[in-house]
Amino acid sequence: MKRYIIPGDFRSNASLGAKAEKILLTQELKELALKATKAMNYEVAGVDIIKHKKKLYVLEINSAPQWQKFKEVTGVNPAEAIIAYAIKKYHKNRR
């Protein structure tokens, strides 16, 4: 999702009331987020990325992101996706 800076502030935290909207995830964004998550040795993370002068930068990698606004904006329930991922990994590792 894309977040917007809170008027009169520098932050864009959805939990603080920043506007957020659903976006299509480009392959470039997906690859950067996965690379950042892997660099921190996380399996699940929230990755804050900014685009400046046509270049993407990772600002922050959250190991325990706040998912409520993400769920509201995208319609995706992160808890369900994480549980499905864990079950799939469990079955894969049992082989």
What is the domain-level CATH number for residue 84?
3.30.470.20
Range of the domain at 7: 2-94
Give the model's pLDDT for residue 65.
Answer: 87
Which stretches of the chain score pLDDT less than 70? Answer: none
The vertex-24 CA angle with 21 and 27, nearest 5°, equals 140
Contact between 79 and 67 (Cβ < 8 Å): yes
Counted domains in the chain: 1
Give the model's pLDDT for residue 26.
Answer: 95
Task: Return the H-helix or E-strand segment holding 56.
Answer: strand 55-62
Give the model's pLDDT for residue 50.
Answer: 93
Contact between 35 and 49 (Cβ < 8 Å): no
Q: Are strands 55-62 and 46-52 parallel, antiparallel or unpaired?
A: antiparallel
What is this structure's pTM?
Answer: 0.83
Give the model's pLDDT for residue 10.
Answer: 87
